[in-house]
Amino acid sequence: MRRHISKRKCKHCKTFFHPDYRNRRHQHYCSQLPCRQASKAASHARWLPKPENRDHFRGPDHVARVRQWRKDPPGYWRHEAPQPVQAPEALQAHCSPQGIERQEVGPDVAPRALQDFFFVQPTVLVGLIAQLTG
């Protein structure tokens, strides 16, 4: 179901715009930069004269906080260009390739390996049955 969104006249530039449907009753300015700046100025002008907000940014606590912040990130406001990220060095040392040794399998190894593999299976089966039956 489509909601009906009516146009509204911007309080700053006086042009019509479609307000965001989630914020329709509060949005009185369009999204143009000068209109957003005017919206911020109007909001600040409404907020500042309230009694609880008059001394919000004043006092020795706020002065000390700002001074400490200015010491912590020196050059923050200079907008220096970020340095390019360099690839880190490898954590492993480079290994030289080694030759592969071929080992011959004797005639007595193969039957014993198959026989060992055969005897492991019943143990796994017995363990599984024990787990299922408790």
Model confidence pLDDT, tens digit, residues 20-61: 889 888 899 999 999 999 999 999 999 989 988 888 778 888
- Residue 92 pLDDT exceeds 90: no
Whether 89 maps to a domain, the answer reads: no
pLDDT at 98 (0 to 100): 75
Percent of the chain with pLDDT over 90: 25
Positive or negative: CA dihedral 64, 65, 68, 74? negative
Whether 114 maps to a domain, the answer reads: no
For the chain, report the end-to-end CA distance as a whole number of angstroms.
Answer: 57
Whether 62 maps to a domain, the answer reads: yes
99 Cβ contact partners less than 8 Å away, ≥ 6 residues apart:
none
Whether 22 maps to a domain, the answer reads: yes
Q: Quick check: pTM over 0.85? A: no
Per the prediction, the chain carries an average pLDDT of 79
Whether 105 maps to a domain, the answer reads: no
Amino acid at site 20? D
State how far the Cα of 110 lies from the Cα of 115, in Å rounded to an integer: 9
Whether 132 maps to a domain, the answer reads: no
Whether 130 maps to a domain, the answer reads: no
Domains held by the chain: number: 1
Whether 109 maps to a domain, the answer reads: no
What is the pLDDT confidence band of residue 97, given thresholds at 50, 70 and 90?
Answer: confident
Q: Please give the helix or strand (H or E) that residue 16 lies within, else none.
A: strand 16-17
**Which residue range is the domain that position 12 belongs to?**
1-70
